[in-house]
Amino acid sequence: MSRADDLQNLKTPDLPDPCLIRSERECDFAAIGDVITRAFAVAEHASGTEAAIVERLRQNGKLAVSLVAEIEGRIVGHAAASPVTISDGALGWFGIGPVAVDPALQRRGIGGRLVREILANLVALEASGCVVLGEPAFYGRFGFRASGQLIYPGMPGEYFQEIAWKTPIPSGIVGYDVAFE
């Protein structure tokens, strides 16, 4: 499949809300921290450090893609992608996360739009592939699969999933930026 096809396939479906997905701006930083904190406060798996991770990625220059969902001028969601390393030396791989949607507005397609737009941005950056640590029930719908070739130590294999845009798919241990430590 060509890269143009990849981009076409990742086009987001329209939402009934006037919900805009766009790159973050400096004036959004506080609202991004706020929506991440509120989303993870009610999440099943959360460390409470997710907003700080995004701030540190930004400070480290590793926030490769940072998108907000905006409704009527209000930030209601956020998703990030940052570069990851793979122990076999493969280049051009990124990790998605965290992804957060205002608890009052979940299950309306906003999280899905954010993930699709992040993937479209990574394809446009000519990324080799992308990993995510999360619920297969949510991420599987975007094409993520747990092949078992990419490993995130300490996590059950089925929760660590990837999409590859270039072959061969690498094998090895995946490392996130120090911001995640």
Ligand X SMILES: CC(C)(COP(=O)(O)OP(=O)(O)OC[C@H]1O[C@@H](n2cnc3c(N)ncnc32)[C@H](O)[C@@H]1OP(=O)(O)O)[C@@H](O)C(=O)NCCC(=O)NCCS
Residues touching ligand X, count (CB under 6 A):
20
Q: 28 or 166, CB closer to ligand X?
A: 28
CB 48 within 8 Å of CB 40 = yes
Give the angle 10-16-17 at the CA atoms, nearest 5°: 95
| Peptide bond preceding 103 in cis form (omega within 30 of 0) | no
Q: Does residue 39 bind ligand X (CB under 6 A)?
A: yes
Q: Which of 95, 112, 129, 170 binds ligand X (CB under 6 A)?
A: 112
Q: Which is nearer to ligand X, 123 or 133 (CB)?
A: 133
Question: C-alpha angle with apex 47: 44 to 48, nearest 5 degrees?
Answer: 100
- In angstroms, rounded to a whole number, what is the distance separating the alpha carbons of residues 23 and 9? 20
Check residue 100 for interaction with ligand X (CB under 6 A): yes
If phi > 0 it is left, if psi is from -120 to 50 it is alpha, else beta; for residue 97 that is left
Out of 57, 99, 122, 130, the only residue in the binding site for ligand X (CB under 6 A) is: 99
Site for ligand X in 127-166 (CB under 6 A): 134-135, 137-138
Work out whether 95 is an interface residue with ligand X (CB under 6 A). no
Q: Which residue is nearest to ligand X (CB)?
A: 111
Q: Are 162 and 134 in contact (CB under 8 A)?
A: no
51 binds ligand X (CB under 6 A): no
Binding footprint of ligand X on the chain (CB under 6 A): 39-40, 43-44, 97-101, 106-112, 134-135, 137-138
